[in-house]
């Protein structure tokens, strides 16, 4: 997708603090962190929302989740805990229409979310 900001990050056309990459997944630091640790995990393939996921792409969500857990261990906050969030469309608070998993940690996160 030409105009998608996360596709541009995946293609290295705009900078990001990338902390993990493989053939299918990219993880980078959120530009406007909502917690001391705020990392976004995306599939390199453009998928606009969770509503657009098809069965053949379900492994990507599994890879994103497993990668988040690995990063939590590597960065030292797995035992203390963290939150994984995927927002969908207007009521979910989605602002970038390329699916992404938020990995949030480093403070006691409130529940329920606002």
Say whether residue 32 binds ligand AMP (CB under 6 A).
yes
- Mention every residue, 6+ apart, whose C-beta is less than 8 A from residue 84: 65, 68, 101, 102, 103, 104
The distance of closest approach from Cβ of residue 66 to ligand AMP in the complex, given in angstroms and rounded to an integer, is 20
The distance of closest approach from Cβ of residue 90 to ligand AMP in the complex, given in angstroms and rounded to an integer, is 11
Say whether residue 13 binds ligand AMP (CB under 6 A).
no
The distance of closest approach from Cβ of residue 4 to ligand AMP in the complex, given in angstroms and rounded to an integer, is 11
CB 45 within 8 A of CB 60: yes
Using DSSP's 3-state secondary structure scheme, residue 92 falls into helix
- Mention every residue, 6+ apart, whose C-beta is less than 8 A from residue 67: 20, 25, 27, 41
Residue 22: which of 5, 2, 44 has the closest Cα?
44
Choose one: 24-32, 46-54, 75-83, 103-111; the region binding ligand AMP (CB under 6 A): 24-32
Catalytic-residue membership of 100: yes
Binds ligand AMP by CB under 6 A, chosen from 18, 31, 66, 69: 31
What is the footprint of ligand AMP within residues 69-98 (CB under 6 A)? 87, 93-96
d(CA 10, CA 85): 20
Say whether residue 21 binds ligand AMP (CB under 6 A).
no
Active site residues: 100
């Amino acid at each position: 997708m030409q105009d998608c900001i996360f596709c541009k990050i995946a293609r290295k056309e705009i900078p990001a603090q990338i902390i993990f990459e493989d053939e299918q997944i990219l993880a980078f630091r959120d530009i406007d962190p909502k917690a001391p640790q705020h990392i976004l995990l995306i599939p390199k393939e453009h998928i606009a929302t969770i509503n657009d996921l098809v069965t053949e792409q379900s492994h990507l969500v599994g890879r994103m989740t497993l990668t988040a857990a690995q990063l939590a261990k590597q960065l030292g906050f797995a035992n203390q805990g963290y939150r994984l969030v995927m927002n969908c469309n207007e009521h979910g608070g989605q602002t970038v229409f390329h699916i992404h998993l938020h990995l949030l940690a480093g403070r006691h996160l409130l529940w329920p979310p606002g």
